A and B are shown apart, each in its own frame.
Chain A
Amino acid sequence: MAAQLWWIVHKDLVSECRTWRVWPAMLLFGLVVAFVFGVQADLPPDQRPQIAGGLLWLAIFFAGMQAVDHSCGAEREEGCWDGLMLYPIGAAAIYLAKLAVNAIALAALECLLIPAFAALADVPLMSHPGAMLLVALLGNVGICAVGTLLSGLVAGVRHGGSLLVLIVLPLVIPVVLAAAEATRLAAEGQLGPEWWRWVHLLAAFAAIFVTAGATLFDFVIRD
């Protein structure tokens, strides 16, 4: 299963690298949000980490949904979902592969967006890179766990693309809140019990919804 999982990830990354259909738009969207925030924010320095954390994660969410929507939507071209379902691979493995592709996309976005926010908002987001890496990893997995499952759900629905944000955003509010708070605390250098509480919430969310997604994905993709 691990090998099959890897080949699906490899196939998706190769396709994206050849076409650049999603990543450039996703990165540009994130940068525009960062720029807009930087232009209008004449906030006192002590308020900037909180606002920056929340806006950063909203930007990651909205930009990332483009990649998430595409990961399942692209399989509908040429009937490739049928092809995937004909292989001797469980739906859970397909789900985990798509989740990995989406998480990689969000990671690429964050490599650009976090330094951009740090520079434009003048907030020390990179002051504790290890902490930011952990928050980013868990936040990615949490958002992608729900997004990947539901993108498969709406892939065949009328106006599915616009529905995806509508149904995913309310569900990932715990992730956005927790990641925003953990980012703020990391930027302020407060890596104590409160920071760990938010990280634990992120980890719990990721664990619960990766499990739920792997269990339910078969019902999503198979008639």
Chain B
Amino acid sequence: MPRTADLLGPSKERPGDNLGTVPIFAQRKWDCPPLGCRIIPDVLTGSLVAAGLLAISLLAPTEKTMGDAQRILYVHVAAAWCGLAGFLIVAASGLLYLLRRDLGWDHWAQAAAEMAWLCCGLTLITGSFWAHAAWNTWWTWEPRLAATAILWAVSSGYLIVRSGVEDPHRRARMGAVLALVAAADIPLVVMATRWFRGIHPAAPQMDPAMRLVLLLSIVGFSAFFGLLLVRRRGQLRLESLLGALEREIDG
């Protein structure tokens, strides 16, 4: 039976790394890094998010037709980008799991799926508010919004299917297959909805200041997404290690 030492590899403990009451198994560098290493990403992410929010609030010029309601767009686009990126991570991690049968990749997939679900949900909500402000309707069948709705539905199905399976390898296999099918499907969804509505969206004409704010918003949101992803993946990995320890103790 795989022993904990095999799972963790040799200890990389250095003077000053030992946090006293933290058990030896948790002292792998990126599961319980030194205090400085844990704070720096949080501070950096916080700074980027703050910069984005400040840019949206203060730097972005007021749009002439929609007024301040247009600022929702900066959150909407950033959330949409993170949702799509999250789903691509789910699919890539799933493929790597199928090739390597390493549950570490499944932890990335699970964490990314949860983030993608959240981001797609946020995209739909902000999109509804934006549509209501722009066209006095809560929903518009714009192809990318329709694709996001489908991505949200697929993410929901992915998480529900996973929750119904106890065995971690079986759960990982199922998740990987579903994610790969969905990843192949999304471009076809965008194509079909685009043809169906006869819409060929052109790149929006944006003021350079608006473009800068959009970029800052995307960077800040992506940093926050990345931080949550890494933290959540760390949680899943620790859960898995705890399970392995319990089996070793029982065995």
Chain A residues at the B interface, C-beta cutoff of 8 Å: 146, 149-150, 153-154, 156-160, 163, 166-167, 169-171, 173-174, 177-178, 181, 197-198, 201, 204-205, 208-209, 212, 216, 219-220, 223
A166: which of B98, B157, B182, B184 is its contact (CB, 8 Å)? B157
Nearest Cβ distance between residue A152 and chain B, in whole angstroms?
9
A197 touches B195 (CB 8 A): yes
- Name A's interface SS: helix
B160 touches A163 (CB 8 A): yes
A163 touches B181 (CB 8 A): no
B165 touches A157 (CB 8 A): yes
Asked if B170 is an interface residue, CB under 8 A from chain A, the answer is: yes
B154: which of A156, A167, A177 is its contact (CB, 8 Å)? A167
> With a CB–CB cut-off of 8 A, which chain A residues contact B192?
173-174, 177-178, 201
B160: which of A166, A173, A204, A209 is its contact (CB, 8 Å)? A166
A149 touches B181 (CB 8 A): yes
Cα of A201 to Cα of B181 in the assembled complex, Å? 17
> With a CB–CB cut-off of 8 A, which chain B residues contact A201?
188, 191-192, 195
A167 touches B180 (CB 8 A): no
Q: Which of B165, B176, B177 has the most CB of A within 10 A?
A: B177
Q: Which of A173, A198, A204, A216 has the most CB of B within 10 A?
A: A173
Cα of A201 to Cα of B196 in the assembled complex, Å? 12
> With a CB–CB cut-off of 8 A, which chain B residues contact A157?
161, 164-165, 174
Nearest Cβ distance between residue A21 and chain B, in whole angstroms?
24
Cα of A79 to Cα of B75 in the assembled complex, Å? 51
Asked if B178 is an interface residue, CB under 8 A from chain A, the answer is: yes
B157 touches A170 (CB 8 A): yes
Chain B residues at the A interface, C-beta cutoff of 8 Å: 98, 150, 153-154, 156-158, 160-161, 164-165, 169-170, 173-174, 176-178, 180-182, 184-185, 188-189, 191-193, 195-196
12 examples of A-B residue contacts, CB within 8 angstroms: A146-B181, A149-B181, A153-B161, A153-B178, A158-B164, A166-B160, A171-B150, A171-B154, A171-B182, A201-B188, A201-B195, A212-B181
> With a CB–CB cut-off of 8 A, which chain A residues contact B174?
153, 157, 220
Nearest Cβ distance between residue B49 and chain A, in whole angstroms?
31
- Name B's interface SS: helix
Chain B residue, CB-CB nearest to A171: B185
B98: which of A154, A171, A178, A219 is its contact (CB, 8 Å)? A219
Pairs A-B, 7 closest by C-beta atoms: A167-B157, A174-B192, A158-B164, A170-B153, A157-B164, A174-B188, A170-B150
A174 touches B154 (CB 8 A): no
> With a CB–CB cut-off of 8 A, which chain B residues contact A160?
164
A216 touches B191 (CB 8 A): no
> With a CB–CB cut-off of 8 A, which chain A residues contact B157?
163, 166-167, 170
Q: Which of A159, A170, A205, A208 has the most CB of B within 10 A?
A: A170
Cα of A156 to Cα of B164 in the assembled complex, Å? 9
Nearest Cβ distance between residue B169 and chain A, in whole angstroms?
8
Cα of A178 to Cα of B150 in the assembled complex, Å? 16
Chain B residue, CB-CB nearest to A208: B184
Cα of A190 to Cα of B169 in the assembled complex, Å? 51
Q: Which of A166, A219, A223 has the most CB of B within 10 A?
A: A219
B188 touches A205 (CB 8 A): yes
Nearest Cβ distance between residue B84 and chain A, in whole angstroms?
15
Q: Which of B153, B180, B181 has the most CB of A within 10 A?
A: B181
Nearest Cβ distance between residue A57 and chain B, in whole angstroms?
13
> With a CB–CB cut-off of 8 A, which chain B residues contact A167?
154, 157-158, 161, 178
A173 touches B178 (CB 8 A): no
> With a CB–CB cut-off of 8 A, which chain A residues contact B188?
174, 201, 204-205, 208
B164 touches A159 (CB 8 A): yes
Cα of A204 to Cα of B188 in the assembled complex, Å? 9
Cα of A98 to Cα of B161 in the assembled complex, Å? 22
Chain A residue, CB-CB nearest to B147: A173
> With a CB–CB cut-off of 8 A, which chain A residues contact B161?
153-154, 157, 163, 167
**Given A146-B181, A149-B181, A170-B153, A177 and B164 touching (CB < 8 A)?**
no
Cα of A181 to Cα of B160 in the assembled complex, Å? 32
B191 touches A174 (CB 8 A): yes
Cα of A157 to Cα of B195 in the assembled complex, Å? 36
Nearest Cβ distance between residue A119 and chain B, in whole angstroms?
27
Nearest Cβ distance between residue B146 and chain A, in whole angstroms?
8
